[in-house]
Structure formats: structure tokens, C-alpha cells
Structure 1
Amino acid sequence: MVSITEAPAQDRSREADWPVVLFFIHIHLLSLYGLWLLLFEVKLLTILFLLALTSCAILGVTTGAHRLWAHRSYKANTGLRITLMVFQTLAGQGSIYDWVQNHRLHHVTFDTDDDPYNHKKGFLYAHVLTRMRKLSPYQEKLKGSIDVSDLHDDPVVMFQKKFYWVLYGVLFLLLPLNAPLEYWEDSVLSSIFVIGFLRYLVVLHASWLVESAVCVWGLKPGEKYPHDSNSVFVLAKTFWPQYHYLIPNDYKSGEYGTYDCGCSTAFIRVWAALGLATDLNTIEQATIQQALKAAAESKRPLKTCIADAAKHQTLPEDHFLRRG
């Protein structure tokens, strides 16, 4: 069980990670040339290849690392887990194990000063600047106490963790960079700067938005809707970040300010229809209404009441084919 307690100020200080700072600066600068090549020189097949790689990589982060492994919002068979592992490797975001551990730390410390992606410091910090700092000693301690036993029980995750840099070299670098050269004879520069640097930059920012999106789509400090309560966002499942951080294992919660729509949610539904994904978690509005009533009457935390009510809800077998 992770608990957030008082710690000395020096244990909460975060140092700049200068190799990472220089790495990100170079990625952004080199991607500018990749953008110029994309607009004026590359072949159409390279553009289509860029879109395919980017889409697969983002799916690996959203439906894989985030919804499947970090929040266990659904279950996937071995074939789908392997596919999502490959897609997540294409994102170049580190291993699933490390990504999930960091994201769970984010949820445990959300809305506190110990959140590595503290949205109270603004979008620029939550989205970019925090990535250039090492975790504080206290954050490292919290991270080490987070339960990741489910990841240890997943052979796909542990295989990727053990052989990550080999998989990274082959799946993220070698195969994508070689394809434009070998199969449709595009230039070396197009391959390196478009399929290499520009692709990575796009996926990088799409992945970073998973933690910083609350700065974009969330309620601002002091903002309420309606005027006397924010509970409506739970009932209507709007104001996405507030709902997601209260009920993180709802498979319908998108990463970019949406609920019950978007490509990632659609793909999960398709996989469920094909029998590749099962046990899709979601909370019906009637269940949330019961939980709100129970919380008001018992004065217990709303999150606890929702968890209790969810245990007794019965979802139709084809609920993933329905909207709402």
C-alpha cells in the first residue's frame, strides 16, 4: 500500500537529467528538417508508412501500456498482448514495465506536489519540463512501493523488459529505417529524418499527453459545473480527467479528453467482438447514481461507494457494442 507522508525538502528535490535534456533538444531540432522533407521531398509511400507506424505506436501506448497494463481495464489474449507489446516498442517510450510503474506513481500522487507530472505547475511543466528531471529520492521510494505483481505474472511484459534494448534496436530502429530504402527506394535522409526523428517526436508528444492532458481538458482550479457541485462530471462522464482519475479502469476513458469514443476505444470494442479482448470494465450510469446516493447518505468517499456498487452491477454480454 502506497502512502504519501511528509518528507524532508531535500528528499523531494529533483535534479535536471542533462543527457535527457540534450537528447530531447536534438530530437526537436532534427525533426524540423524531417518536417521540411515530409512537405517537399519524401515519397507518398514514406508518408503512408509514417502514418501507419505512428498510429500503431500510439495504439501501443493508449490501448496497451495505459488501458491494458497500467489500469487493467480489459483482458487480452496472448496474441493481442504480443501485438500491443510490439506496438508499444515502436513508440520508443521505454519498457511496458517502466511505463506502467511511472504511470501508477502518477495516479497515486495525482493532485499532490509529489506527482512527477504535477499539473498545478502548468502544461509546459507537466508535458515537457518534468521529463527532463530525475525523480526525487522520495518519489523513487514511492515508485518502489507500488504494486506491480500483475506485471511480473505477465510473460509478455517480462520478456519485453528483459530484451527491451534488443527489441528496440530491431523494431524501433532497424526495420522502420530500412523499409523506405529497400522497398520503395526513398532517400537515406528521408528515412532517417522522417521515419526516424519526426516519427519519434510525434509519438513522444502523443504519449506525454497521457499524463499532461488534465491541463488541457480538465477543470481549472476553482472552476465548478454546475455552480454548487462537480459531481455532475461523474454522473454524465464529462470533464474527462476528473472521471478518469476517479475511475481509472473504465475502458471507455480516452487519453485525449474523450469518453466512449475515439480510435482506441473503437479498437478495443473490435477486439472484444473478435474474442481477442474480454472482461471490459465500465461503470453504468445507474451504478454511478446508486454510488452518489450511497456517498451522500453514508458520508463515505465517492470512490469507495463506486467500487462497492460496481461489484453488484451486471453488464450485458454485448455491452461493448453499445454506446453510452
Structure 2
Amino acid sequence: MAPQTEQEDSLSKDEMFEKFVAPQADKREYKILYFNILTFLYWHIAGLYGLYLCFASAKWVSVLNCFIFYVLGQIGITAGAHRLWSHRSYKAKLPLEIILIFFNSIGFQNTVIDWVRNHRLHHKYTDTDADPHNATRGFFFSHLGWLITKKHPAVKKFGKTIDLSDIYNNSVLTFQKKYAIPVIGVCCFVLPTVIPMYLWGETFNNAWHINILRYMLNLNATFLVNSAAHKWGYKPYDKNILASQCHPVSLVALGEGFHNYHHVFPWDYKTAELGNNNLNFTTKFIDFFARIGWAYDLKTVPDDILKNRALRTGDGTDFGGSRRAKVI
């Protein structure tokens, strides 16, 4: 990690925005990464073809297999890269870490080390030009555009200041980084394709394209947290930020749509408050491993702190987004 200058060390977060991030606003350029465009274009076209095959010729068990791998890949992002490794909102014993790195490799959104760097940067400089998927640059940019254009200079500058010492000291994560091509290649593309072929005789054409459909859905479910959950929904905890409670996103992203809450209390392992566990499969996953002792030190926020923050800075909606907040 590149050290900051003494001058930068002495600046507050707001002062750093003013001096280094805000001046870049008029320098926003969209330098296209054409290889990335072709890659995403292929994945989406092949995924749509896979959707057609689900109805036209695939065996029902192949569709079920697609759904199972979707859930596994999503858990690898939500419970692994996000809640465990990015925010350290709970701790995991080695067997659970191995399970999560396997699931994360199925979901394949770069290596965990790169994912964590981007996500910590996103939280530290949310909705500024130092945010990799800055929502102020539009829905498409925050959803996918940031991956098909070159990084903003502020992202590169402040990305070097993010502390990743805990991540680089984790042998599970460095193993994935070192052997990314074979590990991710096998977990994300080979296994979900060969399992249907050899266990129940699915054709390669069906198995491959239905898996690409699954992968495309994994990607877009996570992308919706960056885009839709920064554009639509309620703001019961902080009305001054873009992050919102977007329940449809929680449904597809297994609990990640309570985003206004998450940006106010990012250390909560649930990323959601009170009774929202009905749309929070990831929390149920972590709770299961907590019961058998593989997950521990689960961090939460007391209810009185939630209510006080909602009354102080919220938009007046209650925690479910439908009622007025009341003093209790």
C-alpha cells in the first residue's frame, strides 16, 4: 500500500474530498475498454440463449442445478467477499472460509482481494469520483459502465490508501489470488457445466449456456446493489445519502438491498435491521454456521441506536419503509 503524504494524513475526510476528489469532477472521461465490452456482451447474449434453452430443450434438473449454483455463487459474494472479508462483520473458522472461497469462485467477480479493495474504497468515498462505481455518474455507470471504462484518476489515487493488510495476511485469499485462473475457471465455468453433462446426460450446448445464464444473473444481482439500491427506495436512517432500502434487490441479492441501513451501519453482519431477515438468506446462512461454531463474533447494532439514528437523520419512513417512524 502506497503511503500518504504528511499533508494528506492531516486532512479530514471532507477536506480530502474538497482537495483531491471534487476537482476531478470536470475531468470525467469515459475511456472505453473494448475487450471488457465484448466479454460482457458475450456473457449476456449467451445467457439469454441459455434462458431460451431452459424452456426449449434443457432437462428440469439442469434448471434446478442453475438455481443452486446461483445461490452458491451469490453467497460467496454476500457472506464471503462482502460481510466477512470487506467489513469483518463476523469471523469465520478455516472450514467456513474454504467453503466461502469456493462459493466466491463460483460467483467470480474478480478475486476477493480486488473485490475488497473496490468495496472498501466505495464505502470510504461513496458517490464521489473516488468511488469505483460512483452512482452520481448515472444508473448504467454504477451498474456496469464502471467495468467497461478505465478507472477515474481519483479511484486509482485513493485506492492506494486502502488498508488491505488483513486481506493479504489471509492464506485462503492469497491462494485464490495466486491461482485465480485455474481455481475460478474450474469453479465458475467447468464444474457447473460438466456436472449436468455427466450426472444426467445434459448436452454440452445446454449445460454451457445455462451456466452462463446463471453467471450473468449472479453478476447483475450484485450490480443492482450498486445501481438500483443507490437510486430507488426509502432512506429511514440517512436521507442525505443515495443508498436506499430497495427490497426487490434484497430478494435477488439474498439480503443486500437494505442499503441505506448498510451504509450507516456497515459493520452489522446482517446488513439489515429488525425483522428484515425474511428477505435475507445470507443472514440465515451465517446464523446456521454460528450455531455450529464455524462463524463467531457476529457484530450487530442495538435497537435503540437504530431508532435514534432514524429519528435524527432518516427520511421519516419506518424500518420497513411503509410507516412513519415513532418515538418509543
Aligned to 2:252: none
Partner of 2:218: 203
- Distance in 1 between the 2:191 and 2:258 partners? 37
Distance 1:107 1:218, change over 3 A: farther
The offset of 1:14, in angstroms, is 4.4
Residues of 1 paired with 2:141 and 2:309: CA distance?
35
Cα deviation for residue 250 of structure 1 reads: 0.6
* Separation of aligned partners in 2, 1:137 and 1:123: 20
1:119–1:214 Cα contact (<8 Å) kept: no
2:209 to 190, 193, 207: 193
Residue 176 of structure 1 and its aligned partner are, at CA, apart by 1.7
C-alpha contact (below 8 Å) 1:57/1:91 kept by paired residues: yes
User: Cα offset for 1:242?
Assistant: 2.4
How far does residue 123 in structure 1 lie from its aligned partner after superposition?
Answer: 2.3
Report the alpha carbon displacement of residue 40 of structure 1 after superposing the two structures with TM.
1.8
Q: Corresponding residue for 2:302? A: 284
2:167 aligns with one of 118, 128, 151: 151
- Match status 1:132 vs 2:130: no
Q: 3-state DSSP class of the match of 2:162?
A: coil
* 2-structure distance, mates of 1:82, 1:141: 32
2:101 aligned residue (85, 89, 102) = 85
For residues 258 and 276 of structure 2, what CA distance do their matches in structure 1 show? 7
What CA deviation, in whole Å up to 9, does each residue of 1:215-249 have, x standing for no partner? 35444xxxx779xx849xxxx9x993222112111
Over aligned residue pairs, what C-alpha RMSD do you find? 2.9
Counterpart-to-counterpart distance in 2, 1:30 and 1:93: 18
Listed one character per residue, the Cα deviations across residues 285-305 of structure 1 (whole Å, up to 9, x for unaligned) are 224467799xx8xxxxx9xxx
Change (3 A) 1:291 1:184: closer
Q: How many residues align?
A: 281
Structure 2 counterpart of 1:6: 20
- Structure 1 residues 81 and 153, CA, compared in 2 at 3 Å: closer, same or farther? same
Which of 10, 32, 38 is the matching residue for 1:22?
38
SS at match of 2:126: coil
TM-score (norm 1): 0.78
Where do 5+ consecutive residues of structure 2 fail to align?
A: 1-8, 248-256, 314-328
Alignment correspondent of 1:320? none
Distance 1:23 1:254, change over 3 A: farther
Partner residue in 2 for 1:64: 80
Normalising to structure 2: TM-score of the pair?
A: 0.77
Per-residue deviation, residues 180-222 of structure 1 (Å, max 9, x unmatched): 1111111111011112x21111111112123224235444xxx
The change in CA–CA distance for 1:191 and 1:288 in structure 2 (over 3 A counts) is: closer
Q: CA deviation at 1:179?
A: 1.3
Shift of 1:79: 0.3
- Separation of aligned partners in 2, 1:15 and 1:93: 21
In the alignment, which residue of structure 2 is the partner of 1:245?
A: 263
**Which of 225, 229, 235 pairs up with 1:214?**
229
1:168 to 181, 184, 189: 184
Are the counterparts in 2 of residues 12 and 138 from structure 1 also a CA contact under 8 Å? no
Residues 253-300 of structure 1: CA deviation (Å, up to 9, x unaligned): 159xx944410111111111111100111111224467799xx8xxxx
The secondary structure found in structure 2 opposite 1:267 is helix
The verdict on how the C-alpha distance between 1:52 and 1:292 changes in structure 2, with shifts beyond 3 A counting, is: closer
- Distance of 2:123 and 2:303 partners within structure 1: 23
Looking at structure 1, the residues matched to 130 and 158 of structure 2 have their Cα atoms a distance apart, in angstroms, of: 9
Q: Match for 2:297: what amino acid?
A: D
